[in-house]
Structure 1
Amino acid sequence: MRPSHFLGGVLALALTSSAMAQTGPAPAQTPNSTTIQPARAPAPPGVPHGAPLSYEQAERVMAAAIDEGRRRNLGLTISIVEPTGEPIAFGRMTGAGYGSADIALAKARTAARFGRETRVLADALAAGQLWPLAIDGLIPVEGGVPIVVDGRTVGAIGVSGASALTDGDIARLAEAAAG
C-alpha cells in the first residue's frame, strides 16, 4: 500500500470517527418513527462523457489559455486531458511556479473524470462537506473545467499559477475555444 493511500484512509477514518463522536450514536429506529435527515444539497450531475477531444482542439484550448495568461501578465501552467484524465497537451509559461505543474494536471483530471468544474468540489468543502478530501487524486480547488462539445465531456483543462478564481476564469474562457 502506498503511503498516500494509507494516509488517505487514516484521514477518512479519523474524520468519520470525529463526526460520530460529535453527533453520538444514531437513534434507534422503530417501525412507525421517522428520522429527520439534515438537508443537503445534492451534488450537481456531471456532464456525460464522449469521445476524446482531438489534438487540434486541445491546441486551440491551450492557445486561448496562454493568450489570456499573457494578456494578464501571468505565468501559468496549463494541462489538457482526455475524459480518462490522461494528458493530451501541457504547457508551462515562463515564470510559472514549479509546483503548479502537478496542480494543473490534478485539476484537469478531476474535472474530466467527474464531468464538472473543480470549483463545485471547492464549494462543497467550503460548506463543510468533507467528502472531497477522501477521494485519492481529487483536488477541490477552482481552476479545472471540463471541455464540453455537443453536450458531452470530451476532456478538461486545468490551470494553475494565479489565484484559484483567476485560474478558473482563464480555464472557462479557454474551454470555449474547443468548439
Structure 2
Amino acid sequence: MLKPFLLALALAAPVAAQAPYTTTTIGVAQADTMMAAAVKEAEARKLALAIVVVDEAGRIVLARRMDGALPHAFELAKRKAMTAALIRASTAAAAEGFAKGDHTLLAIDNMLPIAGGLPVKDGVKTIGAIGASGSPPATDEAVAQAGLAALRN
C-alpha cells in the first residue's frame, strides 16, 4: 500500500517544484495611449511618420503609418522599436556605441542603431518599446518620447 503513495509523491514533486513562466508585457491600452500622444506630437510638428509599439520581445502590438509617411519609414520604425525592446535601452545609446566602434549589435537580425527607439519600462523591467521614423533621428526620438511620456501622466 505504501508503494503507490510513494510513486504518487515522486511523480508530484517535480510538478510542484516547477514555477510557472510569467512575463510582463505592454498592453494594447498602453500602446493606444502612447500611439495617440506620439501621433499628436508628430502632427504638432507637421510630420508624417511611422510609429510602432512592440512588446518586450520586439513583436508588434500597434503600428501606424501616417498619411504622407515615406514607404520605408514603417520598416525603420519597427526596427527601432525592436532594437530598443531587445537591448533594453534607447537606440540613441546603441548609435553612440556603434559610433565608438561597438558593432556587436549588428549580429542580431533587424537591429537598427539610429535614434528614435525607446524602451518602455515597468520599474526596471522592459515591457516593450516605441519607435518612430520619417524625420531626422533626434526628431523621431522626440516623437517617441512624447508617446512614452503619456504613460507617466
- TM bucket, shorter chain: 0.7 to 0.9
Percent identity of paired positions between Structure 1 and Structure 2: 36
Give the Cα–Cα distance (whole angstroms) in 2 for the partners of residues 103 and 166 of structure 1: 14
Equivalent of residue 51 in structure 1, options 24, 37, 49: 24
Cα deviation digits, residues 87-117 of structure 1 (max 9, x gap): 1100111111000111110110110111100
Give 1:1-179 correspondences, 5 Å limit: 51-179=24-152
Give the Cα–Cα distance (whole angstroms) in 1 for the partners of residues 150 and 123 of structure 2: 13
Query: Segments of 4+ in structure 1 off by > 3 A?
Result: none
> What code does the residue aligned with 1:92 have?
R
SS of match in other structure, 2:95? helix
Superposed displacement of residue 134, structure 1 = 3.1
Superposed displacement of residue 124, structure 1 = 1.0
Cα deviation digits, residues 27-67 of structure 1 (max 9, x gap): xxxxxxxxxxxxxxxxxxxxxxx611111010000001000
User: Which structure would you say has the larger Rg?
Assistant: 2
State the number of aligned residues: 130
Superposed displacement of residue 150, structure 1 = 2.7
Unaligned ranges ≥5, structure 2: 1-22
> What code does the residue aligned with 2:66 have?
M
Asked if structure 2 preserves the Cα contact closer than 8 Å seen for 1:149 and 1:178, the reply is no
Q: What's the RMSD between the two structures over aligned residues?
A: 1.2
Give the Cα–Cα distance (whole angstroms) in 1 for the partners of residues 125 and 32 of structure 2: 19
Instruction: Give me the TM-score of the superposition, normalised by structure 1.
Output: 0.69
